[in-house]
Structure 1
Protein backbone atom coordinates (compact mmCIF):
# COMPACT_ATOMS: atom_id res chain seq x y z
CA UNK A 1 0.00 0.00 0.00
CA UNK A 2 1.35 3.42 -0.94
CA UNK A 3 1.92 5.65 2.10
CA UNK A 4 -0.23 8.79 2.17
CA UNK A 5 0.84 12.35 2.91
CA UNK A 6 -0.10 12.15 6.63
CA UNK A 7 1.34 8.63 6.89
CA UNK A 8 4.71 9.83 5.62
CA UNK A 9 4.72 12.80 7.97
CA UNK A 10 3.83 10.66 10.99
CA UNK A 11 6.56 8.14 10.14
CA UNK A 12 9.05 11.01 10.32
CA UNK A 13 7.60 12.33 13.61
CA UNK A 14 7.68 8.89 15.22
CA UNK A 15 11.20 8.17 13.99
CA UNK A 16 12.31 11.50 15.43
CA UNK A 17 10.81 10.63 18.83
CA UNK A 18 12.39 7.16 18.80
CA UNK A 19 15.82 8.46 17.79
CA UNK A 20 16.49 10.30 21.04
CA UNK A 21 19.65 8.54 22.14
CA UNK A 22 22.23 6.12 20.88
CA UNK A 23 20.65 2.91 22.25
CA UNK A 24 18.84 1.79 19.11
CA UNK A 25 19.09 1.35 15.36
CA UNK A 26 16.04 2.66 13.55
CA UNK A 27 14.92 1.21 10.19
CA UNK A 28 12.21 2.63 7.94
CA UNK A 29 10.19 0.30 5.67
CA UNK A 30 12.71 -2.53 5.89
CA UNK A 31 11.72 -5.99 4.71
CA UNK A 32 11.45 -8.46 7.56
CA UNK A 33 11.40 -12.20 6.82
CA UNK A 34 9.23 -14.11 9.28
CA UNK A 35 9.00 -17.83 8.56
CA UNK A 36 9.47 -17.28 4.82
CA UNK A 37 6.92 -14.46 4.53
CA UNK A 38 7.98 -10.87 3.87
CA UNK A 39 6.58 -8.06 6.01
CA UNK A 40 7.40 -4.39 5.62
CA UNK A 41 6.58 -2.50 8.81
CA UNK A 42 6.70 1.28 8.72
CA UNK A 43 9.37 1.45 11.45
CA UNK A 44 11.52 -1.21 13.10
CA UNK A 45 13.66 -0.58 16.16
CA UNK A 46 16.61 -2.81 17.09
CA UNK A 47 19.13 -2.65 19.90
CA UNK A 48 22.19 -0.68 18.79
CA UNK A 49 24.64 -2.68 16.70
CA UNK A 50 27.36 -1.84 14.22
CA UNK A 51 26.06 -1.39 10.67
CA UNK A 52 28.14 -3.14 8.00
CA UNK A 53 27.82 -0.84 4.99
CA UNK A 54 30.00 -3.11 2.87
CA UNK A 55 27.71 -6.14 3.23
CA UNK A 56 24.08 -5.08 3.04
CA UNK A 57 21.17 -7.42 3.72
CA UNK A 58 18.10 -7.60 1.49
CA UNK A 59 15.91 -8.75 4.39
CA UNK A 60 16.16 -8.75 8.14
CA UNK A 61 15.76 -12.19 9.65
CA UNK A 62 15.75 -11.43 13.38
CA UNK A 63 12.88 -9.75 15.19
CA UNK A 64 13.27 -6.14 16.32
CA UNK A 65 12.30 -4.92 19.77
CA UNK A 66 9.58 -2.67 18.39
CA UNK A 67 7.56 -2.44 15.18
CA UNK A 68 5.38 0.54 14.30
CA UNK A 69 2.53 0.44 11.79
CA UNK A 70 0.72 3.63 10.81
CA UNK A 71 -2.82 2.98 9.66
CA UNK A 72 -3.27 4.10 6.05
CA UNK A 73 -6.55 5.66 4.85
CA UNK A 74 -7.75 2.50 3.08
CA UNK A 75 -6.33 -0.02 5.55
CA UNK A 76 -8.45 -1.97 8.04
CA UNK A 77 -7.42 -2.23 11.69
CA UNK A 78 -7.87 -6.04 11.52
CA UNK A 79 -5.27 -6.23 8.75
CA UNK A 80 -2.71 -4.61 11.04
CA UNK A 81 -3.63 -6.55 14.17
CA UNK A 82 -3.27 -9.81 12.23
CA UNK A 83 0.29 -8.74 11.38
CA UNK A 84 0.89 -7.85 15.04
CA UNK A 85 -0.10 -11.35 16.06
CA UNK A 86 2.54 -12.73 13.67
CA UNK A 87 5.13 -10.19 14.86
CA UNK A 88 4.61 -10.95 18.55
CA UNK A 89 4.72 -14.72 17.97
CA UNK A 90 8.00 -14.21 16.06
CA UNK A 91 9.63 -12.52 19.07
CA UNK A 92 8.90 -8.82 18.59
CA UNK A 93 8.44 -7.37 22.08
CA UNK A 94 6.26 -4.36 21.31
CA UNK A 95 4.05 -3.12 18.45
CA UNK A 96 2.48 0.29 17.98
CA UNK A 97 -0.59 0.90 15.88
CA UNK A 98 -0.81 4.59 15.05
CA UNK A 99 -4.28 5.74 14.01
CA UNK A 100 -4.03 9.21 12.41
CA UNK A 101 -7.72 10.30 12.28
CA UNK A 102 -8.18 9.80 16.03
CA UNK A 103 -4.61 10.78 16.97
CA UNK A 104 -4.32 7.50 18.85
CA UNK A 105 -1.44 5.14 19.55
CA UNK A 106 -2.31 1.58 20.53
CA UNK A 107 0.42 -0.42 22.27
CA UNK A 108 0.46 -4.20 21.78
CA UNK A 109 2.80 -6.25 23.94
CA UNK A 110 0.16 -8.93 24.10
CA UNK A 111 -2.37 -9.26 21.27
CA UNK A 112 -5.22 -9.78 23.75
CA UNK A 113 -4.56 -6.70 25.89
CA UNK A 114 -3.85 -3.58 23.81
CA UNK A 115 -3.46 -0.24 25.56
CA UNK A 116 -4.56 2.91 23.73
CA UNK A 117 -3.59 6.51 24.31
CA UNK A 118 -5.04 9.60 22.60
CA UNK A 119 -3.75 12.33 24.91
CA UNK A 120 -1.23 12.91 27.65
CA UNK A 121 1.79 10.68 27.98
CA UNK A 122 2.31 7.48 26.02
CA UNK A 123 4.67 4.95 27.61
CA UNK A 124 6.38 1.85 26.22
CA UNK A 125 8.28 -0.03 28.95
CA UNK A 126 10.02 -2.37 26.47
CA UNK A 127 12.11 0.46 25.07
CA UNK A 128 11.87 2.61 28.21
CA UNK A 129 10.21 5.50 26.39
CA UNK A 130 7.62 8.00 27.49
CA UNK A 131 6.43 10.67 25.09
CA UNK A 132 3.59 13.17 24.86
CA UNK A 133 1.06 12.05 22.25
CA UNK A 134 0.94 15.68 21.11
CA UNK A 135 4.66 15.48 20.20
CA UNK A 136 3.82 12.87 17.57
CA UNK A 137 0.63 14.47 16.25
CA UNK A 138 1.84 18.09 16.17
Structure 2
Protein backbone atom coordinates (compact mmCIF):
# COMPACT_ATOMS: atom_id res chain seq x y z
CA UNK A 1 0.00 0.00 0.00
CA UNK A 2 1.52 3.36 -1.02
CA UNK A 3 2.50 5.75 1.76
CA UNK A 4 2.78 9.54 2.04
CA UNK A 5 6.48 9.54 1.07
CA UNK A 6 5.71 7.18 -1.82
CA UNK A 7 3.08 9.59 -3.14
CA UNK A 8 5.25 12.67 -2.74
CA UNK A 9 8.19 11.09 -4.55
CA UNK A 10 5.88 9.79 -7.28
CA UNK A 11 4.48 13.30 -7.83
CA UNK A 12 7.97 14.86 -7.78
CA UNK A 13 9.31 12.35 -10.31
CA UNK A 14 6.36 12.91 -12.65
CA UNK A 15 6.77 16.68 -12.38
CA UNK A 16 10.54 16.53 -13.06
CA UNK A 17 10.10 14.18 -16.02
CA UNK A 18 7.29 16.29 -17.52
CA UNK A 19 9.29 19.47 -17.01
CA UNK A 20 12.42 18.15 -18.71
CA UNK A 21 11.11 15.69 -21.28
CA UNK A 22 7.52 16.59 -22.25
CA UNK A 23 8.51 17.02 -25.90
CA UNK A 24 10.18 13.59 -26.04
CA UNK A 25 8.10 11.32 -23.79
CA UNK A 26 4.71 10.94 -22.17
CA UNK A 27 4.76 10.19 -18.45
CA UNK A 28 1.87 8.16 -17.03
CA UNK A 29 1.09 7.20 -13.44
CA UNK A 30 -0.55 3.93 -12.41
CA UNK A 31 -0.91 2.56 -15.97
CA UNK A 32 -2.48 -0.91 -16.12
CA UNK A 33 -0.30 -3.21 -18.21
CA UNK A 34 -1.07 -6.66 -19.61
CA UNK A 35 2.18 -7.93 -21.08
CA UNK A 36 1.44 -11.31 -22.67
CA UNK A 37 -0.75 -12.29 -19.72
CA UNK A 38 1.41 -10.80 -16.96
CA UNK A 39 -0.47 -7.92 -15.36
CA UNK A 40 1.26 -5.10 -13.54
CA UNK A 41 0.66 -1.47 -12.58
CA UNK A 42 3.96 0.42 -12.31
CA UNK A 43 3.95 3.58 -10.23
CA UNK A 44 5.14 5.55 -13.28
CA UNK A 45 5.63 4.63 -16.93
CA UNK A 46 7.58 6.52 -19.55
CA UNK A 47 6.16 5.91 -23.01
CA UNK A 48 6.77 7.35 -26.48
CA UNK A 49 5.29 10.84 -26.84
CA UNK A 50 1.58 10.77 -27.57
CA UNK A 51 -1.30 13.22 -27.48
CA UNK A 52 -4.22 12.94 -25.11
CA UNK A 53 -7.38 11.80 -26.90
CA UNK A 54 -10.31 12.43 -24.52
CA UNK A 55 -12.74 10.48 -26.74
CA UNK A 56 -10.69 7.29 -26.79
CA UNK A 57 -9.23 5.67 -23.71
CA UNK A 58 -7.33 2.46 -23.20
CA UNK A 59 -8.01 0.70 -19.90
CA UNK A 60 -5.18 -1.84 -20.20
CA UNK A 61 -2.09 -1.27 -22.32
CA UNK A 62 -0.62 -4.33 -24.01
CA UNK A 63 2.65 -2.79 -25.23
CA UNK A 64 5.56 -2.46 -22.80
CA UNK A 65 6.49 1.06 -21.72
CA UNK A 66 9.98 2.32 -22.46
CA UNK A 67 10.58 2.60 -18.71
CA UNK A 68 8.78 1.30 -15.64
CA UNK A 69 9.40 3.15 -12.38
CA UNK A 70 8.63 1.50 -9.05
CA UNK A 71 8.76 3.26 -5.69
CA UNK A 72 9.16 0.95 -2.73
CA UNK A 73 6.39 1.13 -0.13
CA UNK A 74 6.80 0.15 3.53
CA UNK A 75 4.93 -3.11 2.83
CA UNK A 76 7.28 -4.15 -0.02
CA UNK A 77 10.76 -5.65 -0.03
CA UNK A 78 13.63 -4.65 -2.27
CA UNK A 79 13.84 -8.25 -3.51
CA UNK A 80 10.18 -8.08 -4.56
CA UNK A 81 10.82 -5.01 -6.71
CA UNK A 82 14.03 -6.43 -8.18
CA UNK A 83 12.08 -9.52 -9.26
CA UNK A 84 9.43 -7.23 -10.75
CA UNK A 85 12.12 -5.32 -12.66
CA UNK A 86 13.44 -8.59 -14.09
CA UNK A 87 9.94 -9.41 -15.34
CA UNK A 88 9.59 -5.99 -16.95
CA UNK A 89 12.76 -6.68 -18.94
CA UNK A 90 11.47 -10.13 -19.95
CA UNK A 91 8.43 -8.42 -21.47
CA UNK A 92 10.30 -5.75 -23.43
CA UNK A 93 10.71 -2.80 -21.08
CA UNK A 94 13.99 -1.03 -21.94
CA UNK A 95 14.74 0.64 -18.59
CA UNK A 96 13.54 0.22 -15.02
CA UNK A 97 13.99 2.48 -12.00
CA UNK A 98 13.52 1.49 -8.37
CA UNK A 99 13.22 4.34 -5.87
CA UNK A 100 13.86 3.73 -2.18
CA UNK A 101 12.42 6.72 -0.25
CA UNK A 102 13.96 5.84 3.15
CA UNK A 103 17.48 5.87 1.65
CA UNK A 104 16.78 8.67 -0.85
CA UNK A 105 18.21 6.50 -3.63
CA UNK A 106 17.08 5.53 -7.11
CA UNK A 107 18.48 2.50 -8.90
CA UNK A 108 18.45 2.74 -12.70
CA UNK A 109 18.50 -0.65 -14.41
CA UNK A 110 19.42 -0.82 -18.10
CA UNK A 111 19.19 -4.63 -17.93
CA UNK A 112 18.46 -7.08 -15.12
CA UNK A 113 22.18 -7.28 -14.30
CA UNK A 114 23.32 -3.74 -15.11
CA UNK A 115 22.35 -0.86 -12.86
CA UNK A 116 23.60 2.35 -11.29
CA UNK A 117 22.56 3.81 -7.94
CA UNK A 118 21.99 7.54 -7.50
CA UNK A 119 21.70 9.47 -4.23
CA UNK A 120 19.50 12.51 -3.61
CA UNK A 121 22.55 14.78 -4.02
CA UNK A 122 23.35 13.40 -7.48
CA UNK A 123 22.03 13.66 -11.02
CA UNK A 124 20.36 10.47 -12.21
CA UNK A 125 21.40 9.34 -15.67
CA UNK A 126 19.42 6.86 -17.76
CA UNK A 127 21.60 6.13 -20.81
CA UNK A 128 18.92 4.01 -22.47
CA UNK A 129 16.37 6.85 -22.60
CA UNK A 130 18.91 9.71 -22.56
CA UNK A 131 17.38 11.19 -19.41
CA UNK A 132 19.17 13.18 -16.72
CA UNK A 133 17.39 14.32 -13.55
CA UNK A 134 18.73 16.24 -10.57
CA UNK A 135 17.39 14.20 -7.66
CA UNK A 136 17.59 17.03 -5.12
CA UNK A 137 14.07 18.15 -6.06
CA UNK A 138 12.69 14.61 -6.19
CA UNK A 139 13.59 13.93 -2.56
CA UNK A 140 12.66 17.35 -1.11
Which of structure 1's runs of 4+ aligned residues deviate more than 4 A?
A: none
- Which residue of structure 2 aligns with residue 135 of structure 1? 137
1:64 aligns with 2:49: no
Give the alignment's Cα RMSD to 1 decimal. 1.2
- Name stretches of at least 5 consecutive residues in structure 1 with no aligned partner: none
Tell me the TM-score normalized by structure 1.
0.93
Q: Describe the superposition over 1:107-137 as per-residue Cα deviations: whole angstroms up to 9, x where unpaired.
A: 1111112211113211112222212221210
- Which residue of structure 2 aligns with residue 107 of structure 1? 108
Structure 1 Cα separation of the partners of residues 24 and 132 of structure 2 = 15
Structure 2 Cα separation of the partners of residues 65 and 135 of structure 1 = 23
Higher mean C-alpha deviation, range 23-32 or range 94-103: 23-32
Structure 2 Cα separation of the partners of residues 19 and 127 of structure 1 = 14
- Which residue of structure 1 aligns with residue 127 of structure 2? 125
Q: Describe the superposition over 1:16-52 as per-residue Cα deviations: whole angstroms up to 9, x where unpaired.
A: 1110232211111111101212100000011112333
- Name stretches of at least 5 consecutive residues in structure 2 with no aligned partner: none
**Is the contact made by 1:71 and 1:98 (CA closer than 8 Å) also made in structure 2?**
yes
Structure 2 Cα separation of the partners of residues 13 and 42 of structure 1 = 12
Aligned length: 137
Structure 2 Cα separation of the partners of residues 88 and 53 of structure 1 = 30
